[in-house]
């Protein structure tokens, strides 16, 4: 099979605009964590999200760590997060020596179920992390209400969801803090990078201090607490600013790809299930996912192997955190049966702006054939 026949899972959308911004930063000689693009990217991203402040950092995991640390989450605190999410969400909780508590998911939207969160709240709950899975927003109204009643923080992990909205509110604008990732496969990319957004000036100042080794703002080489080297470079921010200027173009292309998938899956019945977008939500469609129906005998990993053999790259869903050795002892909501099922049966399909309608048809046709292909007997 020729390499040209491969349908990749993800391809960054980069043009001459990103190249021009990057070369401007390069030619300025400001290639580290100072330069005009850092401040401008932060300012424009805050406007984009609808918050007063945005603080750039090295990646999405660093953004979560900074947000939790700056918000005062620490030992003896519990943090409720979805059982179905990338491991970095839980890792960041452990970085501040707090205890992850794992909520189950809604079977249709795949996001954390507010009723599951409510069952897990205790006096030790310091924060709830709302993950917007695959760029479909979690129920921010319900989660904000639960957080307010519990007198705890609401932090949005919007790593996958720039541009998504819930009831007209931008993802990242509702929580006490929110975090974003600009990894190479994200809707907006800088290669590596992250952002923490908030409305509080005090919190933003705290984030900036911790990001830069907790250096004293007025006294060189003076430190009164342990900080981190989480600064984003001017080069990366230049790419980010260019991406942000093209956001509508990128988002519209992704929405078109989703519409092609909807059309291709329209007549296949209940063999696979697509993620349901709630009526109040406007998604970003970072990655199109499907879940193999429970009635199918097809093994998820075998189906993925067949797709790979046909030149189609996929990924499994994130494993439920409670199924991982490092988090299997965490408190859950009755073992998170929905998250476990989704983690075992879910497949992420190619989703990027370079796809053509014919590529999507090929992905879906090959997926259906792989599901029906009989298992070879030994």
Residues 177 and 320 in one domain: no
As a whole number of angstroms, the distance between CA 181 and CA 325 comes to 26
Query: Does residue 7 form part of some domain?
Result: no
The average pLDDT across 323-333 equals 97
Q: Give CA 143 to chain center in angstroms.
A: 17
Which pLDDT score is estimated for 298?
86
In the three-class reduction of DSSP (H, G, I as helix; E, B as strand; rest coil), residue 57 is classed as strand
Q: Which of 345, 339, 341 is nearest to 117 (CA)?
A: 339
Domains of the chain: total: 2
Residues 233 and 251 in one domain: no
Which pLDDT score is estimated for 375?
61
Asked if the model's pLDDT at residue 62 lies above 90, the reply is: yes
As a whole number of angstroms, the distance between CA 33 and CA 39 comes to 10
- CB distance 44 to 65 below 8 Å: no
Query: Does residue 117 form part of some domain?
Result: yes
Provide the CATH number for the domain around residue 353. 3.90.1150.10
Alpha helices in 83-137, H assignment, sequence order: 87-95, 114-120
| pTM for this model (two decimals) | 0.96
Residues near 191 by beta carbon (within 8 Å), at least 6 away in sequence: 182, 183, 184, 236, 239
Query: Does residue 301 form part of some domain?
Result: yes
Which pLDDT score is estimated for 270?
82
Last residue of a domain, one of 215, 245, 275: 245
Question: For residue 286, what pLDDT band results from cuts at 50, 70 and 90?
Answer: very high
- CB distance 156 to 179 below 8 Å: yes
Residues 27 and 119 in one domain: yes
Residues 235 and 349 in one domain: no
Task: Show the tokens assigned to 353.
Answer: 């702006």
> What are 170-193's pLDDT values in tens digits?
999 999 999 999 999 999 999 999
Find the distance separating the first CA and the last CA of the chain, reported in whole Å: 26
DSSP state at residue 78 = E
Provide the CATH number for the domain around residue 91. 3.40.640.10
> What are 288-322's pLDDT values in tens digits?
999 999 888 889 999 999 999 999 999 999 999 99
As a whole number of angstroms, the distance between CA 369 and CA 378 comes to 21
> What are 245-266's pLDDT values in tens digits?
999 999 999 999 999 999 999 9
Query: Does residue 136 form part of some domain?
Result: yes
Lowest-pLDDT range, 141-150, 292-301, 367-376? 367-376
Residues 229 and 119 in one domain: yes
Residues 240 and 251 in one domain: no
Query: Does residue 8 form part of some domain?
Result: no
As a whole number of angstroms, the distance between CA 159 and CA 287 comes to 12
Residues 63 and 136 in one domain: yes
- 181 C-beta neighbours (distance < 10 Å), count: 28
Residues 94 and 229 in one domain: yes
Which pLDDT score is estimated for 303?
97
Residues 187 and 279 in one domain: no
Query: Does residue 209 form part of some domain?
Result: yes
Domain, as residue range, for 271: 247-372
Last residue of a domain, one of 245, 275, 294: 245
- 4 C-beta neighbours (distance < 10 Å), count: 6
Residues 193 and 252 in one domain: no
Query: Does residue 3 form part of some domain?
Result: no
Task: Show the tokens assigned to 14.
Answer: 């980069």
As a whole number of angstroms, the distance between CA 91 and CA 86 comes to 9
Query: Does residue 23 form part of some domain?
Result: yes
Residues near 371 by beta carbon (within 8 Å), at least 6 away in sequence: 271, 272, 292, 296, 298, 303
Last residue of a domain, one of 245, 275, 291: 245
Asked if the model's pLDDT at residue 3 lies above 70, the reply is: no
Which pLDDT score is estimated for 297?
86
Helix pair angle (87-95, 60-70), 10° resolution: 40
Question: For residue 374, what pLDDT band results from cuts at 50, 70 and 90?
Answer: confident
Which pLDDT score is estimated for 376?
60
Which single residue is written with the structure tokens 């609401």?
A: 154
> What are 11-60's pLDDT values in tens digits?
999 999 999 999 999 999 999 999 999 999 999 999 999 999 999 999 99
Q: What is the mean pLDDT of the chain?
A: 96
H/E stretch holding 180 reads: strand 177-181
Residues near 170 by beta carbon (within 8 Å), at least 6 away in sequence: 48, 49, 50, 163, 164
Q: Is the dihedral of CA 128, 133, 135, 138 positive or negative?
A: negative
Asked if the model's pLDDT at residue 4 lies above 70, the reply is: no
Residues 274 and 175 in one domain: no
Residues 241 and 361 in one domain: no
């Amino acid at each position: 099979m020729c390499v040209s026949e491969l349908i990749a899972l993800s391809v960054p959308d980069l043009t001459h605009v990103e190249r021009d911004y990057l070369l401007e930063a390069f030619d300025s000689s400001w290639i580290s964590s100072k330069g005009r693009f850092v401040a401008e990217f932060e300012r424009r991203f805050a406007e984009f999200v609808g918050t007063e402040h945005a603080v750039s950092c090295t990646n999405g995991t660093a953004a979560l760590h900074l947000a939790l640390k700056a918000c005062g989450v620490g030992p003896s605190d519990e943090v409720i997060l979805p059982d179905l999410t990338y491991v970095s969400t839980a890792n960041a909780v452990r970085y501040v020596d707090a205890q992850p508590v794992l909520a189950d998911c809604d079977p249709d939207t795949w996001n954390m179920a507010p009723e599951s969160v409510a069952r897990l709240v205790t006096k030790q709950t310091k924060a709830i992390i709302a993950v917007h899975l695959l760029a479909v927003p979690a129920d921010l109204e319900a989660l904000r209400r639960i957080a307010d009643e519990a007198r705890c923080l609401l932090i949005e992990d919007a790593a996958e969801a720039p541009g998504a909205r819930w009831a007209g509110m931008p993802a990242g604008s509702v929580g006490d803090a929110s975090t974003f990732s600009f990894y190479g496969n994200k809707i907006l990319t800088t290669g590596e990078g992250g952002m923490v957004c908030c409305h509080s000036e005090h919190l933003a100042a705290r984030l900036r201090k911790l990001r830069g080794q907790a250096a004293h703002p007025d006294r060189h080489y003076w430190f009164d607490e342990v900080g981190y080297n989480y600064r984003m470079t001017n080069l990366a921010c230049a790419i980010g600013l260019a991406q942000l200027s093209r956001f509508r173009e990128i988002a519209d292309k992704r929405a078109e790809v989703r519409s092609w998938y909807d059309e291709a899956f329209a007549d296949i019945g209940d063999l696979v299930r697509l993620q349901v977008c709630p009526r109040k939500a406007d998604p970003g469609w970072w990655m199109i996912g499907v879940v193999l129906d429970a009635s199918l005998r097809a093994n998820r990993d075998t189906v993925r192997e067949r797709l790979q053999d046909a030149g189609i790259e996929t990924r499994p869903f994130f494993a439920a955190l409670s199924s991982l050795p490092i988090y299997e002892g965490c408190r859950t909501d009755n073992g998170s049966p929905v998250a476990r099922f989704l983690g075992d049966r879910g497949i992420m399909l190619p989703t990027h702006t370079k796809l053509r309608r014919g590529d999507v048809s090929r992905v879906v046709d090959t997926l259906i054939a792989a599901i029906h292909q009989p298992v070879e007997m030994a």
